[in-house]
Amino acid sequence: GNSVTQMEGPVTLSEEAFLTINCTYTATGYPSLFWYVQYPGEGLQLLLKATKADDKGSNKGFEATYRKETTSFHLEKGSVQVSDSAVYFCALSSLGGSYIPTFGRGTSLIVHP
């Protein structure tokens, strides 16, 4: 079945530091990959997505590249801000999984001034 593995948090960084949150997946077929962000007390928001191999999703300075050869979709940002503090979820959906979404466990990011 489908699965998503994320690095455990919390990830604690100083403002303007470089961010990487690792995500690897196992899926049948050719999944679409997503990063969602959840701010405290709120629902999830789509941050970025990629629907085929070598696609790069980007939004608000965050980027992730769909790497089929390594089954990875790592999230990166060159310079984090305090306002980026949130929980980040990697997710996938695929035809093989009947498009029922599969989420990683989430990685908490804490950015200090």
Residue numbers at the binding site for another protein (CB under 8 A): 32, 34, 36, 41-46, 49, 51, 89, 93, 99-101, 103-106, 108
Angle value at C-alpha 84, between 80 and 90, nearest 5 degrees: 100
User: Smallest distance from the beta carbon of 53 to another protein, in angstroms?
Assistant: 15
Of residues 59 and 72, the one with the C-beta less far from another protein: 59
CA distance 8 to 108: 8
CA distance 11 to 33: 22
Of residues 64 and 104, the one with the C-beta less far from another protein: 104
Of residues 13 and 44, the one with the C-beta less far from another protein: 44
Q: What is the DSSP letter of 61?
A: T
